[in-house]
Amino acid sequence: MNAASPDSETLVDSVQELAVRTKSGDERAFAELYRRLVPRMRSFLSGRTDLRSADVEEVIQESFLKAWRNIERFDEAFQFSTWIYTIAIRTAKDFHRKRARSRRLFNKLAEESLDISPDVKSCSVEVRESSDNVWSIAREMLSKDQYSAMWLRYSEELSVKEIAQVLKKTSVGVRVSLHRARASLQKAMQEKGLH
């Protein structure tokens, strides 16, 4: 009787067996898990979320990366597919929260600018998608204090008084910092054609 090749073993192994092999460090088993589960996960996420297909792909990539990094936490008493799908659902929720934070900031900037329509729903697709980039633009160009104030205000939704306590500044100082940060971001967005 001929010994089975590693490739033929992979084809007959169950997802659970592949997960156990992955946990012991078998990268090929993980690659096979990825190959088998991505189409199913893509269908699952597309049906369960309102993510665009490119976003679904990003969530899948991030989910498998998290699974690989934390494979030692996988409990073999449970199904691997349950574990990876739980990771994917949480990753999709994190993705939505990140996008919502970006849109809140973008909406605030839109309200305060004459060049940006306050009704984001009527803006072009490119402008709405650009809201996802606001935080990366802010991180690049604002001081640490300005970025922190913006994050606490628009992402964490803290009041000016609460931000002042966190940053150990006066309320007036926080207001000035927020005003300058918004003005700088508006200018940067206009220069990048995101108005």
Average pLDDT, the chain: 79
Q: How many helices (H) and strands (E) does the chain have?
A: 10, 0
The DSSP letter of residue 114 is: S
Which tokens belong to 141?
Answer: 């160009």
- Kindly report the backbone phi and psi dihedral angles of residue 142, in degrees, each rounded to the nearest multiple of 5, phi listed first: -90, 155
Q: Indicate the length of the chain as a whole number.
A: 195
pLDDT tens digits for 54-85? Answer: 888 999 999 999 999 999 999 999 989 889 99
pLDDT at 3: 44
List C-alpha distances in Å: 146 to 40, 151, 152, 183. 43, 9, 10, 11
pLDDT tens digits for 133-186? Answer: 677 788 888 888 888 888 788 776 778 898 888 888 999 999 999 999 988 888
**Which domains are delineated in the chain?**
6-96 (1.10.1740.10), 113-191 (1.10.10.10)
pLDDT at 45: 84
Predicted model pTM: 0.53
pLDDT at 162: 86
Res. 44: pLDDT tops 50: yes
